Amino acid sequence: MSRPIRFWIGGAALVTMASLVGAIVTSRGAAAHDAPPVELMFSNHSGVLGTLTTAGAFEGSNPFFADLGTNGRRCSTCHRPAQAWTITPVEVRERFEQTAGLDPIFRTNDGSNCEGADVSTVEQRRRAFSLLLTKGLIRTGLDGPAGAECKIADVDDPYRCRSPLTSASMYRRPLPTTNLGFLSAVMWDGRASVAGHAVKDDLVAQALDATLRHATGTPPSVAQLRDIVDFELGVVTAQVRDNAAGNLRTAGARGGPRGRTPGHPNARRLRAVRRSSTRVSSSSTTCPA
């Protein structure tokens, strides 16, 4: 593989990936089909994080960075390159302070503790989004499974959402949209994985669902969904430097994203490890056996 081009970006300086990648692509010539992969570097609390794309370049025009819905959200609203393609409470609080709580992540369909919370004033917004601000959690409302032989009888409701008992709210940090080539199941509880389906197909269905739910949009085109998933599957991320241990790519160490790219012997070993571990956990909307 040809040598990646590296860019250093201070984590906090990144406002929108769309403008960032636009600048990168412009700086190195968007039409270069044989261009080497770009490696982005972000400082984080324990050192430096590297992200690489095997898709040739980080294209700002990819629909992953586009506004496909009706509430201003993009995939990159909750999957931030500088935060290892998820969000962190610190960065979310910075966004809150910079926008008085009006950044598109602060929407009441699933960003607030309770659906449809009153967010008329800054102080109301601070209270309404407290789980997002303190823990980086997005609310996922899940209906009880169809044909279930039990029903939700009672819920612990510390935020007094008073939602109907037909669904339960799960509060979850966005999973990183990187290293997805190693996935064995999609989502924390594996609910976006269909038995017998390739992970790639699950990711297409997941991208559609994310646009409908998080961005309250209409279905993207087949081509847009394919572009999003191809992009996601090309992104590889790993720590490159650790403040205590130093450079993680010297003295035979194989840290950083390059050792995780598909086809690399390291990556094959990692995939085997991922397969043998499982993320699927019991969801509280599942009835006990």
Interface with ligand HEC by CB under 6 A: which residues? 73, 75, 77-79, 110, 138, 140, 172, 174-175, 177, 183, 186-188, 203, 206-207, 210-211, 214-215, 228, 232
Listed in sequence order, the residues at least 6 apart from 263 whose beta carbon sits closer than 8 Å to its beta carbon are none
Q: What proportions of the chain, in percent to the nearest 5, are helix, strand and coil?
A: 35, 15, 50
Strand partners, 139: 171
When the beta carbons of 39 and 110 are compared against ligand HEC, the nearer one is 110
CA-closest candidate to residue 122, choices 114, 109, 135, 133: 133
Written as six digits, the tokens of 242 are 């650790």
What Cα–Cα distance (Å) separates residue 145 from each residue in 35, 75, 160, 286?
Answer: 48, 27, 24, 7
In the complex with ligand HEC, which residue's Cβ is closer, 20 or 203? 203
User: Considering the complex, what minimum distance in angstroms separates the CB of residue 6 from ligand HEC?
Assistant: 26
Q: How far is the CB of 178 from ligand HEC (least distance, A)?
A: 9
Choice between 7 and 64, CB closer to ligand HEC: 64
Block residue for tokens 């996922």: 140
Q: Which is nearer to ligand HEC, 7 or 65 (CB)?
A: 65
Query: In sequence order, which residues have a C-beta less than 8 Å from that of residue 281 and are 6 or more positions away?
Result: 188, 189
Residue 105 near residue 78, CB atoms below 8 Å = yes
The Cα angle at residue 173 between residues 79 and 110, in degrees rounded to 5: 85
CA dihedral 138, 139, 145, 149 (to 10 degrees): 130
Nearest to ligand HEC of 214, 241 (CB atom): 214
Residue 187 CA, distance from chain mean position: 10
| Smaller CB separation from ligand HEC, 128 or 186 | 186
Q: Which is nearer to ligand HEC, 37 or 181 (CB)?
A: 181
Nearest approach in angstroms of CB 105 to ligand HEC is 6
Rounded to whole angstroms, the Cα distance separating 276 from 2 reads 32
Shortest Cβ distance from residue 233 to ligand HEC (Å)? Answer: 10
| Nearest CB to ligand HEC, comparing residues 36 and 190 | 190
Contact assessment for residue 14 and residue 82, using Cβ atoms and an 8 Å cutoff? yes
